Amino acid sequence: MAGASSRTGQEGTARAEKARAVWSRDFALFFTARAIARLGDTMLPVALAAGLLQHGYGAGAVGLAMAATAAAFAGLVVFGGVLADRFSTRKLMIGADLVRLGTQALAAVLFFSGHVVLWQICAIGFVNGVAGAVFQPGVASTVPRLASDIQGANGAIRVAESAAQLAGPAVAGLLVGFASPGGVFAAHATTYAVSALCLLLLRLPPLAPGSRTVAGRGPKAFRADLVEGWREFRSRQWLWGVIAVWCLYMIAVWGPTVPLVATEVVGEHGPRAYGLVNSALGAGTVVGGLFALRLRPRRMLRAGAIALVGFAAFPMSVGAGLGVPAVATGAAVAGAGMSFWGVMWATSVQTQVPPGVLNRIHAYDVAGSLAMMPVGQALAGPAASALGADHVLLVAGVTSFGVCAALLLIPAVRRLVRVDVAASASGRTAAAPEPSRAEKR
């Protein structure tokens, strides 16, 4: 009995220490900022669709407004990574939130007044995309500065963002029903105000000496930083290998799955069934995040790639013409696998890349991951017309298996050992990430 009590006490102490390695006042502020901002971002598509349709615009206008934001973000996020490595990430993120607070407040005024012009909404979306490109790179370097248990921190943020993704569309629908689309934009602006306030109250620990790039002046210095980031990215086979495979994943799997699942499920079972499937997908991402909080695989990318196999269940269940319960189950499995992979990938990048180039590396990661998604979405329609949507979805499911196999076939991906395990194996209490080229010089 005494031994059992002792073991129970030790387990409780270990759990408490693990919690302290993640949760602190400052991490709680950052966690709140990410969760609230994600809630607002998931409300935006509902607001745009309802607002533009209400003012006589069609689906094409909604797509154009969303594309303006996506194009600005994807095109400029790499430059945002350079800025984040040269200047204060916290100040850049606060500035980006304040810009988006202003743009979404302006959009709310336009919708409340009834004076809605498409080019103005697209311009607001473009500015939001630019602000997002400045904001996003700093997220990668902020997590390691706030929590010693980086995987646990990423898992907690993933769970919060997934829960926000579940709640956002429902909250937006209620606001549209009881108020107007302008009310959703006003609420969205408020989420950026809360995020900015949390970041303003945040106290980031100082960077280690030499971990920040010395900011030169002029376009030549900016280009030099950009080139250095590319060299650092290219020098890590596990990093560019995953992004190369991910481009195929976006073209052949994710890109066609999103629009074709929507059209197939709505066409066969109605919009309520599609809402249920989306809710199952969101619930699955929450479960995957919870698993990522507890499981500590030695080779994180290998474990993540194996979990990613589960995504095949989503397009294949729809392509096979299964009923709503089976499709919802497939969506939940897909969400769990994708979420677990996401935490493993984010933690690997944040722990294996040196702080001085982390924001730029993250920016290249984001840009490479998103670059091929519009291509896959654009090809989905012609492919469905030629082969049938069900066949395209079945091919996407099979390709998903191929993508996971490709990840596992890359030795640098398959063999990458988590930093803390490598440190223990070498007899050290802590391990530094692989030095950058600049640090080697």
pLDDT for 19 equals 52
- In whole angstroms, give the CA distance from residue 188 to residue 39: 8
Tell me, what's the pLDDT at 214? 46
Going by the DSSP 8-state scheme, the letter that residue 239 receives in this structure is H
- Given a cut of 60, whether residue 20 has pLDDT beyond it is no
Residue-range definition of the domain harbouring residue 364: 223-441
Which of 171, 204, 237 terminates a domain? The answer is 204
Residue range 359-363: mean pLDDT, rounded: 80
Is the pLDDT assigned to residue 75 strictly greater than 60? yes
Instruction: Identify the residue with better confidence: 100 or 354.
Output: 100
Closest CA to 81 of 351, 356, 342: 356
Same domain, yes or no: 91 and 135: yes
**Claim to verify: residue 419 and residue 349 sit in the same structural domain:** yes
Asked if 267 and 390 sit in the same domain, the reply is yes
* Residue 316: predicted pLDDT: 94
Express as a percent the part of the chain with pLDDT over 90. 28
56 domain residue, yes or no: yes
Is residue 214 one of the residues assigned to a domain?
no
The two structure tokens encoding residue 11 = 């387990």
pLDDT winner (highest mean) among 77-86, 153-162, 166-175, 316-325: 316-325
Residues 289 and 338 in one domain: yes
2-16, 106-120, 336-350: lowest mean pLDDT where? 2-16
Higher pLDDT, 317 or 266: 317
Indicate the residue among 175, 204, 233 that finishes a domain.
204
Mean pLDDT across 131-153 = 85
The stretch 153-172 carries a mean pLDDT of 82
More confident residue, 266 or 246: 246
- Average confidence (pLDDT) over 277-300: 88
What's the average model confidence in pLDDT over 175-196? 87
Could you tell me if residue 209 is inside a domain?
no
Average pLDDT over residues 328-343: 93
Q: Are residues 343 and 436 in the same domain?
A: yes
DSSP 87: S
pLDDT at position 438 is 46
Q: Are residues 294 and 347 in the same domain?
A: yes
- My answer on whether 237 and 305 are in the same domain is yes
Q: Say if residue 68 is in the same domain as residue 101.
A: yes
Query: Distances in Å between the alpha carbon of 78 and those of 69, 139, 250, 301, 326?
Result: 15, 14, 19, 24, 40
List, as one string, the DSSP characters of 352-412. Answer: HS-HHHHHHHHHHHHHHHHHTHHHHHHHHHHHHHHH-HHHHHHHHHHHHHHHHHHHHH-HH
> In this model, does residue 60 exceed pLDDT 70?
no
Number of domains in the chain: 2
CATH code of residue 254: 1.20.1250.20
Does the pLDDT at position 126 exceed 70? Answer: yes
pLDDT attached to residue 264 = 83
Closest to 355 in 3D by CA, of 26, 22, 84, 77: 84
Kindly compute the dihedral angle of the four CA atoms of residues 114, 119, 122, 128, in this order, to the nearest 10 degrees. -80
Contact residues for 271 (Cβ-Cβ < 8 A; gap 6+): none
Task: Specify the pLDDT at position 332.
Answer: 93
Task: With respect to residue 382, please indicate whether it lies within any of the assigned structural domains.
Answer: yes
172 and 274 both lie in a single domain? no
Q: How many CB atoms lie within 10 A of CB 62?
A: 19
Quick: pLDDT tens for 377-413: 777 778 888 888 889 899 999 999 999 999 999 999 9
Q: What's the start-to-end Cα distance of the chain, in Å?
A: 59
pLDDT bin (cut points 50, 70, 90) of residue 42 is: confident
* In-domain check, residue 216: no
Final residue before a domain boundary, out of 204, 239, 258: 204
Answer whether residue 211 is part of any domain: no
Distance CA 54, CA 306 (A): 45
Instruction: Choose between 76 and 327: higher pLDDT.
Output: 327
Contacts by 370-375, CB closer than 8 A, 24 or more apart: 370/70, 370/73, 370/74, 370/250, 371/74, 371/247, 371/250, 372/246, 372/247, 372/248, 372/250, 372/251, 372/255, 373/250, 373/254, 373/255, 374/67, 374/70, 374/255, 375/250, 375/251, 375/255
Residue 325 falls within a domain, yes or no? Answer: yes
pLDDT surpassing 90 at residue 195: yes
Report the mean per-residue pLDDT for the chain.
Answer: 81
Does residue 302 sit in the same domain as residue 430? yes
Do 124 and 273 lie in a common domain? no
Other beta carbons within 10 Å of 48: 25
| Residues 195 and 229 placed together within one structural domain of the fold | no
Q: How far apart are CA 334 and CA 307, in angstroms?
A: 9
Higher pLDDT, 326 or 436: 326
Record the pTM.
0.74
Q: What is the mean pLDDT of residues 275-290?
A: 86
Q: Does the pLDDT value for residue 431 go beyond 70?
A: no
pLDDT at residue 14 is higher than 70: no
Give a yes or no: residue 215 inside a domain: no
- Please report which confidence band the pLDDT of residue 421 belongs to, taking 50, 70 and 90 as the band edges: low
How far apart, in whole angstroms, are the C-alpha atoms of residue 138 and residue 144?
A: 11
Q: What is the reported pLDDT for 429?
A: 40
Quick one: average pLDDT of 291-313? Answer: 92
Which helix (H) or strand (E) segment holds residue 422: the answer is: helix 419-425
Residue 156 pLDDT level (bands cut at 50, 70, 90): confident
Average pLDDT of span 200-218:
63
Q: Does residue 32 surpass a pLDDT of 60?
A: yes
